[in-house]
Chain A
Amino acid sequence: MTESLLMAAIIILTLGAIFSLKDHRIGFAASVVSILLAFASLTSETYFFGFFVIAIGVLNLITLFISENQIKGIDYAITAMLIFATILVIQTENFAVLIGTFVLVSVPTYILVMLSDREAKLDVGIKYITFMVFATIIFIIGAFLVVYFYKEMNPSIYIIGYVLLVLGLGLEVGIAPLHEWVPDVFSAADPIPISIIASIAKIVPFIVAFKILIATTNPVTYSITMFAAFLAVLSMFTGNIGALTSRELGRVLGYSTVANMGYILATFVAIVKPEFIYLAISGALLQLFANSAGKIGFFTAIKKEGVSAPFTYTLALSFIGIPPLMGFWSKLFITLALVYSGYVWLAVLLVINSAISVPYYIRLARELGKGWGYGIANIVGLIAVLITVITFYPPDWFVQSVKFIIETFGVAL
């Protein structure tokens, strides 16, 4: 059933891509239909996850409407591929498929990053692709090392694997000290494609890493976890402090991504506490969604030179972590997970970081918020805001669903 649904979805997507050469709207419609089909493939436990992914995906598709790029029409399909991968990754337990999804969210972005209203941004593309290829390779090597050596009780190789995996992940999503490409690419590329890279493309790598690391937990993991914590702290500080004095808005968002990836990486310390891992993953996922919604909203605002001020302020407050917006709950769950795992100091540093981040988020909100308005950018803003305010009803439901999800979390080895 699942497979046939996915197959159907891919066929529709392909057809849509072909016909989109005639009218790009066909490509859009086909993409939407296909991801809805993909959604239908989900089990009831993963509905909430799927719901957010689809919401963010659709939002990405809508933003593409704004952009006039070289491959108009195909771009929808490429984005839909990312969404597929994201829906697939939550369901699979197969190691090869996991690696596959990782590649699947990586490669399409190579094209996306070069898109632009005028001419393809090759220099940006080169910078991005260089690091992505590098990241993918390191990640995969790390994943193999971890998976094949955790049972051998060969701590040194397991540790090398763990380090490579985390570093690969860090390079892929932009975690300090491997974040150099992020601010440059985020400020130089076209805002719309980069909003896709900054949102939906970030989810899969973390889930893959989580699944692999959870499946390979062994006594050595307890000690090496500190490495993730160290990178997380470094990334938080680099991102937040770097953003403070940046003037280009794209660059600010780049640094903000670095910081947010740090927050999420911090949840890796909970991997050694199976009983609280659901909190860590709830926090990480919500943080990813909140980050995605916010990034899409802000990048669209950059593209259109401003959206309604209430939207930008809401998104900024969500980033800062003000209840009851989604950004609050995500940080709450992350903090809970950290405290439960015995990393109170990390939790405190996280708090300090959220304080440091206040000025630049507010600045973003102010510079991008322009009174009240209508138009497609505002629709995007509205949907993004709706995603972040959905947690007005405290997201206990999400946590419950995550509890079910992680029961099937793992890698069949």
Chain B
Amino acid sequence: MTEILQFAILFLTPVISSLPIALAWIYKPGEEWARKLPYLSVFGLFVSLVISLNILFNFEEGFYSYPWIEDFNINFVFVVDYLSKYMGVLTALIAFLIGVYGLEYMKDDYRLGWYWFFFNTFTASMLLVVYSDNLFTLLIGWEGLGIASWGLIGHWFRDDDDITFVGEKGRKVGPLEMSWSPSFGGWRAISTIRFGDMPMLFAIAAIYALTGSLDIHAIPWEDLFVKIGLVGTVILLFLFLLGPFTKSAQLPFSEWLMTAMTGPTTVSALLHSATMVAAGTYLFMRLTWYIKPWEAHVPGLEAIYLLVLFLGLFSALYGASVALGLRERKVLLAASTMSSLGLMFASSAASFWVGEIAVIVAFWYLIVHAFAKASLFLVAGHLIHATHDRFCSGNLVFSRKMKVAFAVTIVATISLAGIPPFTAYWVKSGMDGVMEHLMEEGLSLPFYLLVLVSVIYSAFLAKFLSLNFIKGEYPHHEHTEGGGLMKLAYSAMVSMLIVLLAIILLQREEHAAHFLEEGYLKMSLYVGLLVTASYFITLYKPTSKLKIGVIFTDRMYLPFLNDFIVPKIGWGIAAIVDALNRAIDFFFHTAIPGFFDRLSIAIRSIQSGYLKSYVKIVAASIMLFLVIFSLVGW
């Protein structure tokens, strides 16, 4: 029971601790005392962090449940296992650090109540997703993520500050202006996510209908797949995975992630590291963990895992290439996130052939990526504050004033790119191993794609470093004072990468040995060297005038899907519907009453007022009836 209580506190504290400021801001926005309330919200995040640590160290692995609707077999069931206990701490820790950063970053904002309420709800929802074993409990967290991300992306709803936009104002490609406002960003995020969430909701309902259970661990997956057959399995899992695909911005649902950069940087940092986008991959890992596709060789599963594998890899390639062409700090990082998520999907999907270890590799990559990406975003936020410019700018003169940021960026990029012997190298080596294993199954493409992605990935990370600190233009604005809390936060964040490195090197974790082993392989080393070369070349020459760059900058024209094709179809249907509505309205409310009016006038036209004509009518009708009935009878 105390465990359940702790879970409840874990989920509820962040939300409750942000209610005071939310209410304060509805009724007394901007009051001096209300600006102190964020400390309370961050304290709520801290409480969650403490509990998640307690879960990591003191809870036994297993399931904890609390009755909800027992008669329908829907209960609050929480799981503590390898995935959730680490993921929980990761989420809570990153949220807490970003919260601290936000105390300074957002202090003068005009909408603090909204910000903190949704920020904390965002965290709580993610925690719920992480620890839920019951799919319906998970759904609550899942929906919470959606709504909170909408609120946060569209946080600066006034659309009045260019710094909050994404894209270049006035730049047109065909009919589209490549510029997106915060309110638009929010709408696009929620509309894309909705597109995936509803099929997922259906898939969950279908699982519920077919098995009567909603607890991931208790669902007889293999029986289920056998029961619905190959096609059924493919349909069910495809619909289910539309949820993770949209949330994790895989092709072709990636556009929302780019325009999500209209939100405050803290939001981007949280969104891209441990919540929201990670939720998609995390859910896929969790499912895979219990479906155990490597044991249950059901034909439908192979098709789905193959789909996820390639979708992930191509999304990774797309994201990486696009990141190469982008010049906006945050959008570049956003594209890189998409790429990383693709790799996580691909690696988890490979578990069908490779086994559980593939999921563990993907999970480790998620952790490394989370800390690195959060650090980079926080730095980017600080840079935007300091230069008042969302495009990359900054040179060595500038970086001398931003030493901490510079150092953190170096550590984060190197650790994330996969340069030996830094953190991501070991994990990426594991991934190399997984993809190599696939070659034995006759799938050689994934490995080459992975290498290609890794090379490009490292290149744009170097580009980010170079254009912001080494070879960029000198910023037009400069505001480098202060920022103590921000520096503290991202330093702490990046230091976690060192901790992870230590854990791997010192083999303080059961799977570390595997990573070391993989890292020492020749093949991994070659890939590592390739990545390193790419990193340093780009560092030296961060820009290029190649035509293809423009295509990358325009995200390979994918915005046309979201902003042109789909809306055109939608508005077309809406126009037809509208025309039909007018027609129906005319028929019922103009034509029919008009008809009755005319009929009425006709009926009244008999009333001439002359007795003789009335007598004629009456006599004639009586005679008529009599004649009819006497002749015809009835």
Please report A residues at the B interface, Cβ cutoff 8 Å. Answer: 126-127, 130-131, 134, 138, 155-156, 159-160, 163-164, 167, 171, 177-178, 180-181, 183-184, 220, 223-224, 226-227, 238, 241-246, 356
Contacts and interface: CB of A to CB of B under 8 A. Distances in A.
A244 B596 CA distance: 8
Contacts of B625: 163, 167, 227
Contact of A183 (B599, B607, B611, B617): B607
B188 to A, nearest CB: 47
Nearest to A238: B603
A130 B615 contact: yes
A243 B607 CA distance: 12
A246 B596 CA distance: 12
B591 interface: no
B609 interface: yes
Given A138-B622, A180-B606, A156 B633 contact: yes
B597 A245 contact: yes
A171 B618 contact: yes
A241 B615 contact: no
20 contacts: A134-B618, A156-B629, A159-B630, A159-B633, A163-B625, A163-B629, A167-B622, A171-B618, A178-B621, A180-B606, A180-B617, A227-B625, A227-B629, A227-B634, A238-B603, A244-B596, A244-B597, A244-B600, A245-B604, A246-B600
B614 interface: yes
B626 interface: yes
A226 B609 CA distance: 31
Contacts of A183: 604, 607
5 closest A-B pairs (Cβ-Cβ)?
A180-B614, A245-B600, A242-B603, A244-B600, A223-B634
Interface residues of B, number: 23
Given A238-B603, A244-B596, A159 B634 contact: yes
A241 B611 contact: no
Interface in B544-587: none
A112 B611 CA distance: 19
B601 to A, nearest CB: 6
A183 B618 CA distance: 15
A356 B595 CA distance: 12
Contact of A356 (B596, B604, B621): B596
B600 A131 contact: no
B607 A184 contact: yes
Nearest to A138: B622
Given A227-B634, A238-B603, A241-B600, 4 more contacts: A159-B634, A163-B625, A177-B617, A245-B597
A12 B589 CA distance: 58
Nearest to B595: A241
Contacts of B622: 138, 164, 167, 178
Nearest to A155: B633
A138 B626 CA distance: 12
A178 B630 contact: no
A159 B597 contact: no
Nearest to B619: A134
Contacts of B621: 167, 177-178
A371 B146 CA distance: 55
A218 B597 CA distance: 42
Q: Which of B614, B618, B621, B626 has the most CB of A within 10 A?
A: B618
Given A138-B622, A241-B600, A356-B596, A180 B634 contact: no
A226 B625 CA distance: 13
Contact of B611 (A130, A155, A223): A130
A130 B597 CA distance: 31
Contacts of B614: 127, 131, 180-181, 184
Contact of B604 (A164, A181, A227, A246): A246
Nearest to A239: B603
Contacts of A224: 634
B618 A131 contact: yes
A163 B626 contact: yes
B607 A180 contact: yes
B624 to A, nearest CB: 9
Contacts of A177: 617-618, 621
B617 A226 contact: no
A198 B630 CA distance: 33
A156 B630 contact: yes
A243 B597 CA distance: 10
Contacts of B617: 177, 180
Given A155-B633, A159-B634, A167-B625, A180 B618 contact: yes
A337 B575 CA distance: 48
Contacts of B615: 130
Nearest to B609: A184
A354 to B, nearest CB: 14
Contacts of A241: 596, 599-600, 603
Contacts of A126: 611
B628 to A, nearest CB: 9
A164, A226, A242: most-surrounded residue (chain B CB, <10 A):
A242
A98 B13 CA distance: 88
Contacts of B599: 241
A412 B136 CA distance: 79
Contacts of A238: 603
B596 A160 contact: no
Contacts of A220: 634
B634 A245 contact: no
B618 A242 contact: no
B634 A226 contact: yes
Q: Most B CB atoms within 10 A — which of A178, A224, A227?
A: A178
Contact of B626 (A160, A171, A181, A242): A160
Interface string B361-403: 0000000000000000000000000000000000000000000
A288 to B, nearest CB: 23
B621 to A, nearest CB: 5
Nearest to A177: B621
Given A130-B615, A184-B609, A245-B600, A164 B626 contact: yes
Contacts of A155: 633-634
B618 A178 contact: yes
Contacts of A181: 614
Contacts of A356: 596
A245 B601 contact: yes
Q: With a 10 A CB-CB cut-off, give which of B597, B614, B617 has the most chain A CB atoms.
A: B614
Contacts of A180: 606-607, 614, 617-618
Nearest to A135: B618
Contacts of B603: 238, 241-242
B417 to A, nearest CB: 75
Given A130-B615, A181-B614, A245-B600, A160 B630 contact: yes
